[in-house]
Amino acid sequence: MSKPRIRVLIVDDSAVVRQALSEVLSADPGIEVIGTASDPFVAAERMREQVPDVITLDIEMPRMDGLTFLQKIMRQHPIPVVICSTLAEEGAQSTLKALEYGAVDIIAKPRLGTKQFFEESSMILCQAVKAAAAARLRNPSHEVEPKLTADVILPRAKSAMLETTEKVVVIGASTGGTEALRALLEVLPADAPGIAIVQHMPEVFTRAFANRLDSLCQISVKEAESNDTVLRGRALIAPGNHHLLLKRSGARYYVEIKDGPLVSRHRPSVDVLFRSAARYAGQNAVGVILTGMGDDGASGMLEMKQAGAATIAQDEATSVVFGMPNEAIKRGAVDAILPLPAIAGSMLARAR
């Protein structure tokens, strides 16, 4: 018996965007677009006729903005929502608010640029909808392209670099990860080990996300730039649409920002960060894999474990989507499976 298709309602005030999103999603055999709406009032009418499995939602719309509509949905009839937004710096903070209000993910609207860019955007859009359909909502597959491995960015090394005494933490997250990262980083002390993070998120939004975390946490949090030093009391978040690698010069850890193809269907990719940690930090690294759809990070975490690193996965009960942690667990890459509130303490203990 075939698996039922995911029913999607597209809500956007631009007819061009509605058509583009509809064409992209309808091309995936696992997805059915059941309707489009130019604003939340029209969307409400559509939902009375047929309840979707997932809604894609713009933020800026006439008559009622997307955030207000999102809050109404989550109070009255919770449905997984993917925010589909333009890459506008000035709108990034309000878009991030949507994650606090219960949206599952943020993606960028596909841009009609190069063929490769449109194909990548289409793949990310379909993945986000599938992840949303599988998500466990908080109160408050079809293979489109071959999946590249971290080899395209950083070839596998025969061994890790010689040991240093400084410890470093690397964290990977996807669907549901923004709130998981907030919960994890907020409880860390000001002298916590240096941290490098990959959160699947579009460019522009990663800077706003880092700034938001920086205002909430005792540690400092910033969007990573090439050659930033990984310091105690600081977390560096991969900029959207760029890979993040951990490197080492002597006893100093630093990060490198790299372009390149999608790895495990993502850019930034957790696999790339974790492989670099296996090579350059080895047993001085602690790897943490949080909630997310798919398997990005599972191979990289296994390489970390084989290099002597400590590895932790978020458990199913506290994950919005248990895909990424579960894949790492199934590959034997994980030392400890913990609920989200217990991860910070375990991470600090293993980094001592």
The type of residue at 114 is T
318 and 342 in contact (C-beta within 8 Å)? no
Catalytic residue from among 58, 295, 296, 315: 296
Q: Catalytic pick from 174, 264, 269, 299?
A: 174
SS (H, E, C) the chain: CCCCCEEEEEECCCHHHHHHHHHHHHCCCCEEEEEEECCHHHHHHHHHHCCCCEEEECCCCCCCCHHHHHHHHHHHCCCCEEEEECCCHHHHHHHHHHHHCCCCEEEECCCCCCHHHHHHHHHHHHHHHHHHHHCCCCCCCCCCCCCCCHHHCCCCCCCCCCCCCCCEEEEEECCCHHHHHHHHHHCCCCCCCEEEEEECCCCCHHHHHHHHHHHHCCCEEEECCCCCECCCCEEEECCCCCEEEEEEECCEEEEEEECCCCECCECCCHHHHHHHHHHHCHHHEEEEECCECCCCCHHHHHHHHHCCCEEEEECCCCCCCEHHHHHHHHCCCCCEEECHHHHHHHHHHHCC
Distance between CA atoms of 77 and 59, rounded to whole angstroms?
19
User: Does residue 121 have an active-site annotation?
Assistant: no
Task: Give the active site residue among 28, 58, 122, 200.
Answer: 200
- Cα–Cα distances (Å) from 342 to 107, 187, 298, 312, 336, in that order, read 29, 11, 21, 10, 11
Q: Cα–Cα distances in Å, from 282 out to 213, 215, 305, 309? A: 28, 31, 8, 6
**65 annotated active-site:** no
Active site residue 142: no
Please identify every residue annotated as catalytic.
Answer: 174, 200, 296
